[in-house]
Amino acid sequence: MSDQYSALRSNVSLLGQILGHTIEQALGAPALEKVEAIRQLAKSSRTGDEQAREQLLNELHRLSDDELLLVVRAFNQFLNLANVAEQYHTVSRHADTGFCQLDPLKQTLKRLKQGNIGSEQIAQALAKLDINLVLTAHPTEVTRRTLINKHVQLSDCLDKLELDKLLPTERTQLLARMRQLIAQAWHTDEIRHSRPTPLDEAKWGFAVIENSLWQAVPEYVRELDTLLQQELNMSLPASARPVRFTSWMGGDRDGNPYVTAEVTQSVLEHGRWMALDLYIRDLNQLINELSMHQASEELMALSGPSHEPYRQVLKALRNDLQQTHKYLEAKITGQPSRGENRITDIKQIINVLQMCYRSLCSNKMAVIADGLLQDTIVRCRCFGLQLSQLDIRQDSDKHAQVLAEISQYLELGDYCAWDEQTKLAFLAKELANPRPLLPRHWQPSEQTQEVLDTFKVIADNPADNFGIYIISMARQASDVLAVKLLLKEAGCAFNMPVAPLFETLDDLNRAPEVMRTLYDNKVYRGVMGEQQYVMIGYSDSAKDAGMMAAGWAQYSAMESLVALSDDCDIELVLFHGRGGTVGRGGAPAAQALRSQPPGSLKNGLRVTEQGEMIRFKYGLASVAKQSLHLYVGAVLEGNLLPPPQPEPQWREVMAVISEKSCEHYRAIVRGNKDFVPYFRSATPEQELGKLPLGSRPAKRNPDGGVESLRAIPWIFAWSQNRLMLPAWLGAYQGLAAAIEEFGEQHLALMSQQWPFFRTRLEMLEMVFCKADSWLSAYYDQRLVASHLQPLGEQLRSELAQATALIKELSPEHTLLGHQPWIRESIALRNPYTDPLNVLQVELLKRVRAGGSVALDNALMITMAGIAAGMRNTG
């Protein structure tokens, strides 16, 4: 590793030494010696030492069950500590990774100046800046929350160790604290023993806000404003809310029977309770700080005669917050009613705080107003009264089944059997009809009642509690009108935005046609609201057609939807359902946004942040600020310096790549009779069910095959055996066909001039750096029946072909030559992930032959450790 990473090497070494000392203290010197011997063999194996590799395999194969657990735990913990060091390094004072906190945004602002973008244009872009980050509970966060908290504290210790003029006693105390934290982690069970409930997941989301984002957001807004003043001589608008947060935790009921109407209501109450708690803490600080007596007439009129009018006013507000807090606490815990429900709108808090702000400024105390008071105002705007608004998501079939039950009860026929035009006519008529559709004394089925209860929860809560309603597997315009009708029937007094989610390849291709039908429907235009949201599904489209075909379908759909909405004078907001991995649309945030069609960000950015990526991007306040600055820079650049429109021939190239890659992908995944049994034996797919990742079942249909497997476990399983198949299968066939027809030089030109195409290739480069054929072959050798092994050999041969081709197309003719930080990051973890892969094979072999609870636990720890090594697993 080069000298620029010496600080990272040093921190990894320090954490590793402390872990080694902990293991030695807990289990004795022989245990540590065994772990160290395996670590050295793994490092030598990584350099190409075949003898060391053979020794490594033999050593791990000979381990007893107890020794297996020890080694698995040691390497899992080491990878977690390496991730702590790496995450901290991105914001370290000694980092030189190109990720320095404000540099990307500074560079963007300088490019805006150099591009002669007018100040009025920039001001308009800033006024419309709206980054909506949607936190989801997709089950790829394998690390327990108690361990995450210890890792955060370790990051704080690393930060303090970098301080200049640190006293020897202070350094000794910090190192002692680090030894305590690592010992606590070692003696803590790494694996949950029960699945989290949807409420547990929601609480985890609230904890991310409390522990990191609550501090990071106002600091980020202040830094953004300062940078704008320095670079462009302009400020953020006074009412700016450049970032806000939404959650799916407790609202996403698609395939999750545990997310009920009752759970959704409970999550809403917990969110408001937590928000009030945080605002009360801020007010306590403000009351301590704002002891001044000079005040405006406006404030004095509210405070009455007082020598400390700010404290007087803020204490009254705090009392209202405390009364509401007690009211909610009693409701949540089922205790007798206490307090009063006084604070029901965030404006009740903002109005008082802004009055204090105006008063301070008018009395020449702006320096005070721009401190904690301004931070709290920013928090009110960005977090609201819920910390995060709640999206509701449900499958389109569930709504259709409700309407079918109603139509049959009313003897109108079976809604599900009607054609699309009949459905649209019925829905439009009922939407325009003021009388209720639901029969008064009708007793629906339990499933239908649950859907109706969800709509009632929406209707019974304020509009500000919610984000949007997402329809999974939306295929027709009637799917959207059906939700609008059910909202009306529930008595919803506000216009909740409804977003179709286009997920499969066919659905993406038909998305413009579906939206045209909606836009042409006068009844829908009357109930649509101010904006139209459309969600683009990245994971299921990639699972359906392969990464290359899905990527082009996503781009084409977005491009057509933007043009259509502009033609119809409709403000379109695209919602990106990206995951952390390449197979689920994942890519570095700025890179991904710059590769989108021109105009696709002009009405804001709405994007999912999923699984473990929430922790990696927002788990530390300093890292969270960096992530937010990256988003701001990319959105401003996308709107003011948009990428070029693709040339006609580039579209032809992509059409060939898409067709040929999809054809091959489906031939393997759907057409090869050996694929499913190979998948299930060569990966831990069947054993993943033992890992209590999230509240949602791994399959939409418990009795279904691979086709019913959710995109996340599909990706997770292939990342475990290091074949990474969903992220690249079909890419070689598509690219090779395009080279044959158009020539390699044409693709090289596309890579130079078109960010969309360059991003596809860079995503593949990252995948190929993480893939590992010798490990995949070892899984086959030990776990796969001989008659299925030729398929594995074929897939690894294709992986080698694809890797060679991507290297050839890369400007540096190497993988990630332009992104050395990512390459170094992968290389850092590989020697510690390799033993876990080999151990996982051994454990799968033993478990499948008839295992034990101890072996199951060890197997689950290998899954968690490999996930830590791969970083973005879902």
Lowest-pLDDT range of 54-68, 294-308, 394-408, 418-432: 54-68
Residues 355 and 415 in one domain: no
Residues 532 and 547 in one domain: yes
Q: Is the pLDDT of residue 696 over 70?
A: no
Q: Is the pLDDT of residue 335 over 70?
A: yes
Q: What is the mean pLDDT of residues 380-391?
A: 97
Lowest-pLDDT range of 446-450, 721-725, 780-784, 822-826: 822-826
Residues 371 and 430 in one domain: no
Neighbours of 595 (CB within 10 A): 21
Residues 561 and 505 in one domain: yes
Q: Is the pLDDT of residue 97 over 50?
A: no
Residues 838 and 717 in one domain: no
Would residue 227 count as lying in a domain? no
Handedness of CA 554, 559, 562, 564 (dihedral sign): negative
Q: Please, where are the H alpha helices in 90-144?
A: 103-114, 119-127
**Greater model confidence, 712 or 282:** 282
Q: What is the mean pLDDT of residues 435-441?
A: 90
714 with 725: CB under 8 angstroms?
Answer: no
Residues 811 and 823 in one domain: no
Chain-centroid distance of CA 873 in Å reads 11
Would residue 505 count as lying in a domain? yes
User: Helix, strand, coil shares of the chain as percentages rounded to 5?
Assistant: 65, 5, 25
Question: What pLDDT is recorded for position 738?
Answer: 98
132 with 241: CB under 8 angstroms?
Answer: no
pLDDT in tens, 209-232: 999 999 999 999 999 999 999 988
Would residue 120 count as lying in a domain? no
State the Cα–Cα distance between residues 673 and 108, nearest whole angstrom.
51
> HEC states along 646-702?
CCHHHHHHHHHHHHHHHHHHHHHHCCCCCHHHHHHHHCCCCHHHHCCCCCCCCECCC
Alpha carbon distances (Å) from 130 to 101, 106, 125:
20, 19, 10
Lowest-pLDDT range of 9-13, 116-120, 507-511: 116-120
Buried b (16+ CB within 10 A) or exposed e, 67-87: ebbbbbbbbbbbbbbbbbbbb
pLDDT in tens, 161-194: 988 788 999 999 999 999 999 999 999 887 777 7
- Local structure of residue 596 (DSSP, 8 states): S
pLDDT in tens, 339-365: 999 999 999 999 999 999 999 999 999
Q: Which of 223, 264, 254, 267 lies closest to 387, judged by CA?
A: 267
Domain boundary residue, one of 779, 800, 816: 816
Q: Which of 675, 664, 672 lies closest to 784, judged by CA?
A: 675
Would residue 208 count as lying in a domain? no
CATH of the domain at 538: 3.20.20
374 lies in which domain range?
261-383
Q: Which of 66-70, 240-244, 515-519 has the highest mean pLDDT?
A: 515-519
| CB neighbour list of residue 239: distance below 8 Å, 6 or more residues apart | 381
Burial of 197 (0-12, 13-18, 19+ CB in 10 A): middle
State the Cα–Cα distance between residues 106 and 713, nearest whole angstrom.
39
| CB neighbour list of residue 250: distance below 8 Å, 6 or more residues apart | 198, 199, 201, 202, 259, 263, 264, 266, 267, 268, 390
> HEC states along 389-426?
EEEEEEEHHHHHHHHHHHHHHCCCCCHHHCCHHHHHHH
Q: Which of 532, 504, 503 lies closest to 517, judged by CA?
A: 532
485 with 431: CB under 8 angstroms?
Answer: yes
Question: What pLDDT is recorded for position 219?
Answer: 95
Question: What pLDDT is recorded for position 584?
Answer: 42
State the Cα–Cα distance between residues 850 and 847, nearest whole angstrom.
5
User: 247: part of which helix (H) or strand (E)?
Assistant: strand 243-247
**Counted domains in the chain:** 4
State the Cα–Cα distance between residues 561 and 515, nearest whole angstrom.
8
State the Cα–Cα distance between residues 117 and 134, nearest whole angstrom.
31
Confidence of residue 628 (pLDDT cuts 50, 70, 90): very high
Q: What is the mean pLDDT of residues 710-716?
A: 75
Would residue 415 count as lying in a domain? yes
End-to-end distance of the chain based on CA atoms, in angstroms? 28
Question: What pLDDT is recorded for position 100?
Answer: 42
Q: Which amino acid is at 211?
A: N
Q: What is the mean pLDDT of residues 757-776?
A: 93
Q: Is the pLDDT of residue 140 over 80?
A: no
Residues 546 and 688 in one domain: no
323 with 342: CB under 8 angstroms?
Answer: yes
> HEC states along 502-531?
ECCHHHHHHHHHHHHHHHCCHHHHHHCCCE
Q: What is the mean pLDDT of residues 497-508?
A: 96
Would residue 126 count as lying in a domain? no
Residues 759 and 857 in one domain: no
- Structural tokens at position 83: 């991730």
pLDDT in tens, 251-302: 999 888 999 999 999 999 999 999 999 999 999 999 999 999 999 999 999 9
pLDDT in tens, 550-564: 999 999 999 999 999
- At 116, phi and psi to the nearest 5? 55, 40
Residues 592 and 456 in one domain: yes
State the Cα–Cα distance between residues 68 and 856, nearest whole angstrom.
11
Confidence of residue 697 (pLDDT cuts 50, 70, 90): low
Would residue 643 count as lying in a domain? no
Residues 738 and 800 in one domain: yes
Question: What pLDDT is recorded for position 139?
Answer: 47
Residues 268 and 373 in one domain: yes
| CB neighbour list of residue 293: distance below 8 Å, 6 or more residues apart | 307, 308, 309
State the Cα–Cα distance between residues 373 and 366, nearest whole angstrom.
10
Instruction: Please state, for a pLDDT cut of 70, what percent of the chain lies above it.
Output: 93
DSSP string, 144-212: -HHHHHHHHHHHHHHHHHT-TT--HHHHHHHHHHHHHHHHHHHTS-SS-SSPPPHHHHHHHHHHHIIII
Query: Taking the model in full, what pTM does it have?
Result: 0.91
Lowest-pLDDT range of 163-167, 521-525, 581-585, 720-724: 581-585
- Structural tokens at position 689: 């069910």
Question: What pLDDT is recorded for position 102?
Answer: 47
Residues 434 and 527 in one domain: yes
Neighbours of 136 (CB within 10 A): 25
Would residue 276 count as lying in a domain? yes
Residue with tokens 């009254």: 316
CATH of the domain at 327: 1.20.1440.90
Question: What pLDDT is recorded for position 66?
Answer: 84
State the Cα–Cα distance between residues 184 and 81, nearest whole angstrom.
13
Long-range Cβ contact pairs of 796-801 (< 8 A, separation 24 or more): 796/723, 798/729, 798/732, 799/723, 799/728, 799/768, 799/771, 799/773, 800/773, 801/732
Cα angle 631-637-641, degrees, rounded to a multiple of 5: 165
- Structural tokens at position 21: 């000392």
Handedness of CA 488, 493, 497, 501 (dihedral sign): negative
State the Cα–Cα distance between residues 653 and 651, nearest whole angstrom.
5
Confidence of residue 588 (pLDDT cuts 50, 70, 90): low
Q: What is the mean pLDDT of residues 566-585?
A: 76
State the Cα–Cα distance between residues 14 and 739, nearest whole angstrom.
49
Q: What is the mean pLDDT of residues 17-32?
A: 95
Q: Annotated active-site positions, please? A: 138, 543
State the Cα–Cα distance between residues 662 and 870, nearest whole angstrom.
26
Radius of gyration of the chain (CA): 28
Domain boundary residue, one of 816, 833, 860: 816
CA atoms within 13 A on the CB side of 367: 1
State the Cα–Cα distance between residues 21 and 304, nearest whole angstrom.
64
Q: Tell me whether strands 243-247 and 498-502 are parallel, antiparallel or unpaired.
A: unpaired
pLDDT in tens, 194-211: 778 899 889 989 989 999
